[in-house]
Amino acid sequence: MLTHAQIQTTVAAALAEDAPWGDITSESLIPSSANARADLVAREPGVFSGGEVFAAAFTKTDPRIEVELLVADGDSFAPGDILARVSGPAQGVLTGERIGLNFAQRMSGIATLTATYVTKVAGTKARIVDTRKTTPGLRAFERHAVRSGGGYNHRFSLSDAVMAKDNHLAVLTAGGLDVTTALQQAIAKLPHTTHVEVEVDRLEQIEAVLAAGIGTIMLDNFSLDDLRTGVAQVAGRATIEASGGVSLETVGDIAATGVDVISVGALTHSARALDLGLDISISTALNA
């Protein structure tokens, strides 16, 4: 999902935003002949993500800069671990520093939070998946980070799958059709076979939705008791997704009800940036 082309384009835009007319601090204070080596160091434990993105922040700033990744996306690390090493012209290293850190901190934060959720549901069949609650323009980056943390991706965009939520159903049935008929007629118009998911917020809606032949049913903001009842009612006739009210405190109990998928918007909209630093370890700046 996260392609080399996307990385190059987005990192270039980030660098242009951060230094639209150059880095006047580095260019005025640091000799152009100076070289530096810097280490990407973990200040806290976590799961790494965004290695290629971190590297691109420097290589697009100055192609002479070399980046050695010492961990792979999905690897766990401890405080003090060196995650990557950057070496080359000091001006470029200093110019690319903030953008490289922004991506690595953000993506590793998402990966770390996702890994925590995944650990909470260990021993159940539930998969932790993300949602479309992503930063505009950065969805591929953030969803790559979810996979780095052991999670799964939901549909990438509105173009990927049919997912009817409460507002869709309200409009669909406004003409007086029952939910089953309305869904069947809508599905029949699809130009090709595609996965269809429908959201329900009450147990009494389940049978009417299942009768339309949908592939996934989302039980939205159900209590634990209602989730257990819903799982028994569906009885394998569709994939069951639980959504709403999911937190690190509740996700284990939700998974124990027998649902197949748990979607967690917090993976991308509430993950905090991880504390990573770029420490200059060797510099020839003073000797230049």
Rounded to whole angstroms, how far apart are CA atoms 137 and 157?
A: 12
Instruction: Tell whether residue 127 is among the known ligand binding residues.
Output: no
266 assigned to a ligand binding site: yes
Give the distance from CA 237 to its chain's centroid. 29
**Catalytic one of 62, 220, 226, 275:** 220
- Which is catalytic among the residues 23, 199, 241, 260? 199
User: Is residue 98 annotated as involved in ligand binding?
Assistant: yes
Q: Is 189 a catalytic residue?
A: no
- 237 known member of a binding site: no
Q: Residues 37, 98, 228, 237: which is the catalytic one? A: 98
Rounded to a whole number of angstroms, the distance between the first and last alpha carbons of the chain is 43
Residue 258 among known ligand-binding residues: no
Catalytic option among 133, 201, 226, 237: 133
Per the annotation, the verdict on 165 as an active-site residue is yes
Phi, psi (deg, nearest 5) at residue 193: -65, 130
Residue 165 annotated as binding? Answer: yes
Among 37, 165, 228, 237, which one carries the catalytic annotation? 165
Q: In this structure, are residues 22 and 57 in contact, taking their beta carbons and an 8 Å threshold?
A: no
β-bridge mates for residue 129, sequence order: 152, 263
128 within 8 A of 114, measured Cβ to Cβ: yes
Annotated binding residue 132:
yes
**Annotated binding residue 207:** no
Known active-site residue 220:
yes
Active site residue 199: yes
Tell me if 114 is assigned to a ligand binding site: no
250 a known binding residue?
no
User: Which positions are annotated as active-site residues?
Assistant: 98, 133, 165, 199, 220
Residues of the binding site for substrate: 98, 131-133, 155, 165, 199, 220, 243-245, 264-266
Residues of the binding site: 98, 131-133, 155, 165, 199, 220, 243-245, 264-266
